[in-house]
Amino acid sequence: MTKYVFVTGGVVSSLGKGVASASLAAILESRGLKVTLIKLDPYINIDPGTMSPFQHGEVFVTDDGAETDLDLGHYERFIDTKMKRTNNFTTGQIYQSVLDKERRGDYLGKTVQVIPHITNEIQDFIKRGAGVGTPDEVDVAIVETGGTVGDIESLPFLEAVRQLGIKLPPKSCAYVHLTYVPWISAAKELKTKPTQHTVQKLREIGIQPDALLCRADFRVPEEEIEKISLFTNVQKWGVISVWNADVIYEVPRMLHEQGLDSLICDKLGLHVRPANLKRWDDLVAAKKAATKTVRIAMVGKYVDYSDSYKSLNEALVHAGLKNGAMVDIHYVDSESIRSDNSAELLKGHDAILVPGGFGERGIEGKIAAVRYARESKTPYLGICLGMQVATIEFARHVVGLTGANSAEFDAQTPHPVIALIDEWKDADGSIQIRTAASNLGGTMRKGAQSSDVKAGTLAHSIYGDLVTERHRHRYEANVDYLERLQAAGLVISALTQREKLTEIVELPKTVHPWFIGVQFHPEFKSTPWDGHPLFNAYIAAAMSDKA
């Protein structure tokens, strides 16, 4: 039977519940347990797909095409289990499901209420995420509740997990609460009162935490540990100090050395082998042993909030580890770049990367960055939108198609080299631009898809004959322009197996040392152990003059 660990947060948000949950999962997995993680998000949006990256950070995409919270990226980078649509759900999904049942008459005319109908639905979703009753059922499901204890939005989730703790057999669940212990510089003291208050609030709801993870700038001293234990009714060995780590991959070792995994195994009645964290220790050692530095210019639209590119940042770090290098990412706002200042802003970098994004803002700056990378022969990687602007730049400045653009940015462009599939041709062969569908959450190509890779290309040297990656985009390279682009020297090195849509474009080595654009999002499949072949090759190209 699946056992559960419920992780909540208090005092303030952004304490790192995702990393803490993933780290605990990693330790339990190292003890031979089959583990998964589930994220409960209290917002009413169905998913984060239409939310601003400035507000919510990146949207992480799973193999089955779900647009999910960025914490699922942490989960996949810390454990071997792959996340699915069922590993993340929102208040919006819960209410939508309950209302659909009500419309069908499933409640037999009863008054539908938060308790028991909403809370029961939450519990059913949690069990579904844990694979209960299926071949995928796990030993332990770590369930992270978004938000902060005390927020009205998260109350139904907290009530649901409280009830689940009562319904399950003994030794079936544990509660872990992440809290904040601030340092007051004027008083030169760590203050435990916020932690006391957040646990008091949690206990008012009916949940007594079995362990407290106390976030602080440095290790919480023994005296404060004892005080927190006394005023929160948590055993002293359950008060775990979580200080700022130089590398997030140090956190599993940090939690293990303070006995968190042993406490959880004891609480859940799990008799398993000791933890083996050697691969984490090796990873941290490799990170600290790196002596070379690679400077990457990331030309993006959301650079003021680094979480907008969380998986991408981590993928670059992983590739740096594989190449024995530290990766220094220099964020460049694409709105600041013009054709007359691109060299000034981008020179001195070892490589240029243009990530994904949506909307017209900053597009001309991205195109200028691509042109600089192509003409200066600086290694270039374009991801999703980064591939599309590379195609537009090539069409304009190499093929000579004046005004070439994406129909997303200019519905009147004379050369829509990027467009929606139904915009390519009418029955008579003429180009006809149409507007995108209004349901923004349902018009994308999402999830894992496979493509054939052309032999003798840079892409083939990286992927081999087949590439399977995750997608999240709405517009495609227009097949009506591919012949002209290829005739001018652009290499289409991968096409989807079914629709024959462009997946990878590149320049031949005779023209550019390393220039590639991909329609998919490879960053979602990068791991700290192996990196990702595309990013590994990209960082190696950036280091080519650092031998």
| Residues designated catalytic | 384, 521, 523
SS3 237: helix
CA distance 388 to 432: 19
What would the two tokens of residue 516 be? 């590639």
Integer-rounded Cα Rg, in Å, for the chain is: 25
SS in 3 state form for 465-530? CEEEEEEEECCEECHHHHHHHHHCCCEEEEEECCCCCEEEEECCCCCCCCEEEECCCHHHHCECCC
What would the two tokens of residue 285 be? 């050692």
What would the two tokens of residue 213 be? 């993870």
> What is the distance, to the nearest Å, from the Cα of residue 102 to the centroid of all Cα atoms in its chain?
34
Please, are residues 247 and 285 in contact by the beta-carbon 8 Å criterion? no
CA distance 470 to 448: 4
CA distance 2 to 55: 34
According to DSSP, the residues that pair with 505 across neighbouring strands are 492, 517
Query: 109 phi and psi, to 5 degrees?
Result: 80, 5
CA distance 503 to 333: 26
Residue 137 CB neighbours (<10 A): 15
> What is the distance, to the nearest Å, from the Cα of residue 83 to the centroid of all Cα atoms in its chain?
11
Q: Terminal CA-to-CA distance of the chain, rounded, Å?
A: 54
Contacts from 497-503 at CB under 8 Å and sequence distance 24+? 497/449, 497/450, 497/451, 497/452, 499/421, 501/421, 501/476, 501/477, 502/387, 502/391, 502/476, 502/477, 503/451, 503/467, 503/469
CA distance 547 to 543: 7
Residue with tokens 């590439």: 467
Residue with tokens 């097949």: 479
What would the two tokens of residue 101 be? 């049942």
CA distance 380 to 372: 10
CA distance 398 to 386: 17
